[in-house]
A and B are shown apart, each in its own frame.
Chain A
Amino acid sequence: MNPSVTSLAHMPKLQAEQLRVLRSGKEVLSGVSFNVAGGEVYGLLGGNGAGKSTTLAAFLGFVPAASGRVVVDGLDVGSDLAAARRAMAYLPEAASLYEHLDARENLDYFLQLADMRCSADEIDLALDRVSLGAEARGLKLRSYSKGMRQKVAIALAILRDTGILLLDEPTSGLDPTAIDEFHGLVRGLADAGKAILMVTHDVYGACQVADRIGLLRGGQLVAQFEAPPGGRIDTETVHRAFSPRAAA
């Protein structure tokens, strides 16, 4: 974690407290508790059906908490959903943006929906930060690769300038270069003081970028790992916990 933002680390931006979620009567999250502070990247790891995306959905208010609560920037999602959503930026797995619009049009539209107005220069600056080539910016997104779309989605998160960023399987389908670029961007945003919750099943990627990792299994948070000061979380340790049989 960047020492310059150490003070922010004491202020949890995202909190899940004994979160329990039911889907079609079935318990998919059971008493999950964790928090993410400003300047911190929290990786939420787990296999298919572990409850990772449901946890994100609970923060976004897409699924209600059967018990417990989720808090975003001090706002209870159950009672102040709109304000909570405005306090965070969300990067969906497929970087779901409009294919019939170009990068600038996409950004402009979503920013207006977030009640924000950014100039063309500000938008270009954000696209510069995510290294989206100038020649691609006027093309419709249907001609973009997944990595390029991901960059536009991250540019949106940058422009939203919220203190919290939720990422859903952000590196899925990206090539290694794009993954490295992406990790660099995420790390940079965290170092700027943002609280980042990253849901992934990529153990290696999570260890590369996260300050802490929580491991979900069967809807329960079964382990947490923390990077040593100035270092990284040990991939091997997490891998063993993630998949004990494979590690053996």
Chain B
Amino acid sequence: MIRLRVIAGAEWRYWLRSRLVLGSALLMAGLLLATTAVTTLRMQGEAAERTHHQDKAEAAFLAQPARHPHRMVHYGHYVFRTPTPLAGFDPGLDPVTGQSIFLEGHRQNTPMFAPSGASADLGGFSWLSPAMVYQLFGPLLVILLGHGLIAREREAGTLATLLAQGAPGRLLLAGKAAALLSVIVLMSLPLALSAALAVRDGDPPLAAVALVGVYLLYLSIWGALALLASALLRRRTAVLAALATLWVVLTLVLPAVAVSATSNAAPMAGKLETDLVMLSDLRKLGDGYNVNDPAFARLRAELLAEHGVQRVEDLPVNLRGLVAQASEQKLTDTLNTYARAQMAAETRQAIVLASHGWFTPLLAVADASRALAGTDLAHHHRFLQEAEALRFAFVQGLNRVHAEKLSFSDDIRRSSDAQAEARTRVDASHWRLLDRFVFEPDAAGSRLARSQSQWLMLCAWFAVLVGAGAWVGGRLKP
């Protein structure tokens, strides 16, 4: 243990005297500062805009005078999702999926049926975030510091001197690994600070700790790769070339190949095609505005029989409201069927894409990072589902008011009779049927559960590399 510390300490002395760590730390700090500033400014701007629109939309909605309930069904309302504090570190899919949905009758929220092509680009490489600095540039810095760990000693001849002192090769590798690990821990400090701030702002501590942990593991994998290459190859230039090639393959080529392979392995129907089929199905549901539509004949007959009357005007409830309710139910069932299929297809794609983490740790860490930060696809889907549940409850609530508070006779005459029209208005207290929408981000347990496979992949990568390192260390030659 003492010798391990001595070897690690000697490496640090070399780095400090060569100013390698200082240069690398400045580079990393610069990148993180820039991306954090950009992300924070963007999120602050979005938050200000969101709050402004949310307040405006809510005030406008609640300020509506007494109206016919169906007018309010079509008036619509926005709901917003506040990003998790950890989204400041990893915005994940948020920039692609958006954080607001317009709720209205007879329609589902538009993001639900966003262009399907977007879901294949789950890597979210559209812009640089602190998470991407860690995912893409973190490994480069680890390579920069780690490529010479053994190769430098070999080239200078000091490896022979070291081994000749009786220090086992495995001990040497372990000491060098400890030095590199300490740098990785230092590199993770800005992330740890972000995580601590996120916990202060309400994110679960376990998710924040796990996020720091998953990046430590990811960078350690790169450290192990650098050390292994340094121990196996004779020249520093060869080590650097090999590691640079590996970086290009693992962080740029394979993720792109994986996205393409995912699109082929789990294809999704295009938006236009889906919309046309869906519209055709919706047309078969009948016209909810027409109480005489054959699609609602059975409902009408059952109601008349149930209340023992011959005419709809004699019913104690407004048939128009009931038809609107039944129509909305059928329409929502159909829309939900398509939404579920769409979500299942997107989830299938996400699973296929995530499975490529066995081939490149970048995909594994990116997936785990999004899950832990609460910016992954599952989070987005839950937002859509909760917003849709709210929309449905609100519309059906107004339809119930329509059925129970408005008479059928007034309802059918309201366009020609001003008094009837006045009686079909209900007061604004009914708009409060729409509860203030609050989207609760996933608890730590759910986030951890969703990142489980990625942890397994990263642990497997690390275990294989540590095993290979132990094997190479036992055979280390100058």
Contact = CB atoms under 8 A, between A and B. Distances in A.
A144 interface: no
B168 A82 contact: yes
Given A100-B14, A115-B3, A92 B166 contact: no
Interface string A162-184: 00001000000000000000000
B166 A114 contact: yes
B161 A101 contact: no
B17 A100 contact: yes
B477 A109 contact: no
Interface string B466-478: 0000000000011
Contacts of B7: 113
Interface in A177-204: none
A85 B161 contact: no
Secondary structure at chain B's binding surface: helix, strand, loop or mixed? Answer: helix
A82 B13 CA distance: 26
Interface string B167-207: 11000000000000000000000000000000000000000
B416 interface: no
B157 interface: yes
B162 A86 contact: no
A92 B161 contact: yes
A85 B3 contact: no
Contacts of A83: 166
Interface in A211-233: none
Interface in A43-76: 60, 62-63
A89 interface: yes
Contacts of B158: 96-98
Given A109-B6, A109-B10, A89 B161 contact: no
A4 interface: no
A81 B445 CA distance: 50
Contacts of B160: 60, 62, 90, 92, 96
B170 to A, nearest CB: 10
Contacts of B2: 112
A94 B154 CA distance: 12
A218 B299 CA distance: 105
Interface string B1-34: 0110011001001100110000000000000000
Contacts of A115: 3, 166
A159 to B, nearest CB: 11
A217 B158 CA distance: 28
Contacts of A153: 161
Nearest to B478: A62
B163 interface: yes
Contacts of B14: 98, 100
B79 to A, nearest CB: 62
Contact of B163 (A60, A100, A166): A60
A82 B17 contact: no
Nearest to A62: B477
A113 B175 CA distance: 11
A85 B13 CA distance: 26
B126 interface: no
Contact of B6 (A85, A89, A99, A113): A113
B172 to A, nearest CB: 8
Interface in B56-84: none
A103 B168 CA distance: 24
A158 to B, nearest CB: 14
A115 B477 CA distance: 20
B163 A62 contact: yes
Contacts of A114: 165-167
Kindly name the residue among B3, B164, B168, B477 whose own CB sees the greatest number of chain A CB atoms within 10 A. Answer: B164
A110 B162 contact: yes
A207 B14 CA distance: 41
A97 B167 CA distance: 15
Interface in B130-164: 156-158, 160-164
Nearest to A59: B164
Contacts of B162: 110, 113
A98 B6 CA distance: 14
A113 B164 CA distance: 10
A112 B478 CA distance: 20
A90 B166 contact: no
Given A109-B6, A109-B10, A85 B18 contact: no
Nearest to A114: B165
A146 to B, nearest CB: 13
Contacts of A60: 160, 163-164
Nearest to A100: B17
Contacts of B163: 60, 62, 85
Given A62-B478, A109-B6, A115-B166, A90 B161 contact: yes
Nearest to B175: A113
B165 A85 contact: yes
Contacts of B156: 96, 98-99
Contact of B167 (A100, A113, A160): A113
Interface string A1-33: 000000000000000000000000000000000
A166 B477 CA distance: 17
Contacts of B161: 90, 92, 96-97, 110, 153
B164 A85 contact: yes
A82 B165 CA distance: 9
Nearest to A83: B166
A105 B158 CA distance: 14
B164 A101 contact: no
Given A60-B160, A96-B156, A97-B158, A110 B18 contact: no
A25 B158 CA distance: 27
19 contacts: A60-B160, A82-B166, A89-B164, A90-B160, A92-B161, A94-B157, A96-B157, A96-B158, A96-B160, A98-B10, A98-B14, A98-B156, A105-B13, A110-B165, A112-B6, A113-B3, A113-B6, A114-B165, A153-B161
Given A85-B165, A96-B161, A113-B167, 17 more contacts: A62-B160, A62-B478, A85-B163, A86-B165, A90-B161, A90-B164, A92-B160, A93-B157, A96-B160, A99-B156, A105-B13, A110-B162, A111-B165, A113-B162, A113-B166, A114-B165, A166-B164
Closest 8 CB pairs of A and B: A96-B157, A86-B166, A90-B164, A114-B165, A85-B166, A113-B167, A113-B165, A112-B6
